[in-house]
Amino acid sequence: MVKITIAKSAGFCFGVKRAIDLAQDIASKNSDVYTFGPLIHNPQEVARLEKENIKVIEDYSKIEKGVLVLRTHGIPLDIYENLSKKENIKIVDAACPFVKKAQDIIKELSKDSEQIVIVGEKKHPEVVALVSYGKGKCLVVEDKNDVKNVKKTDIIYIVSQTTQSPKKFEEIVNEISKISQVKVFNTICRATFDRQSAAAKLAKEVDVMIVIGGKNSGNTTRLYQICSNITKTYHIEDVDEIKPAWFDKVESVGITAGASTPDWIIENIKRRIKEITNC
């Protein structure tokens, strides 16, 4: 009989749950409700929200009236300021509190510092927004190869994308500290750390890991990277991607999920694996 175990920390984090609840509450009281870009990085949950009349829009200039909910990853400062001037649009900021904290740190640092390093993915919406708070003083470092772009200054300030791997963050900080003195602001959220730790622990105990979450989700991708370094791992968004061959001669299966993955998807996938393995 195949043993199926869900990681101790998996699925919705506080910030995502807060944003979903906020959007649904607004939609229950208003007819014109939009999110600026996907509210979270989970296509299936975003599609479910659209059925509740919460529509995704990429071009806010096309909205004449209504409520615009800002995504959990935050938005660039200039866009936020432009939106605030719209008289017929009510703005609700659903940015994760941990993301807001990182934004506030960068905004404060930009007043006096020469250089602010953000450890993260250059094209990720959260990082794009973080850079906008730095008044042109931010440099994004994705990996050790990017450290060569860091300028030697009296003090190099370092901030992290909230969903960054703690191990990778530490490695990059160590490399930058060889250039000059650093001051580090570890803005990785606790939920990210807990999910990565729980996933790594479970991966060591099972034959196969299933990582559930949007292919566009940074924190889910990192869960996949962590688990795949330990055991056979598959990253899927929904139940239709599961292949029965994955479970041939397998005695134990572990399941983890990114911070934007709802419980209903996790349960659907667990149920499907049970059907395949007859357990």
Chain segment 56-96, per-residue pLDDT in tens? 998 888 888 899 999 999 999 999 998 888 888 999 999 99
- Among candidate residues 76, 236, 136, the one with its CA nearest the CA of residue 253: 236
Beta bridge partners of 156: 182
Q: Examine the residue annotation and report whether 126 is marked as an active-site residue of this protein.
A: yes
Chain segment 107-163, per-residue pLDDT in tens? 999 999 999 999 999 999 999 999 999 999 999 999 999 999 999 999 999 999 999
Question: Pairing mode, if any, of strands 208-212 and 181-185?
Answer: unpaired
Question: Could you tell me the pTM of the whole model?
Answer: 0.84
Element (H, E) at 35: strand 33-36
CA-CA distance, 89 to 97, in Å (whole number)?
Answer: 23
Chain segment 169-200, per-residue pLDDT in tens? 999 999 999 999 999 999 999 888 899 999 99
pLDDT in the model for residue 85: 87
Can you tell me the mean pLDDT for 267-276? 96
Which residue of the set 45, 126, 142, 237 is catalytic?
A: 126
Q: For residue 40, which phi and psi values (nearest 5 degrees)?
A: -135, 170
Domains of the chain, earliest start first? 3-11+191-277 (3.40.1010.20), 14-95 (3.40.50.11270), 98-188 (3.40.1010.20)
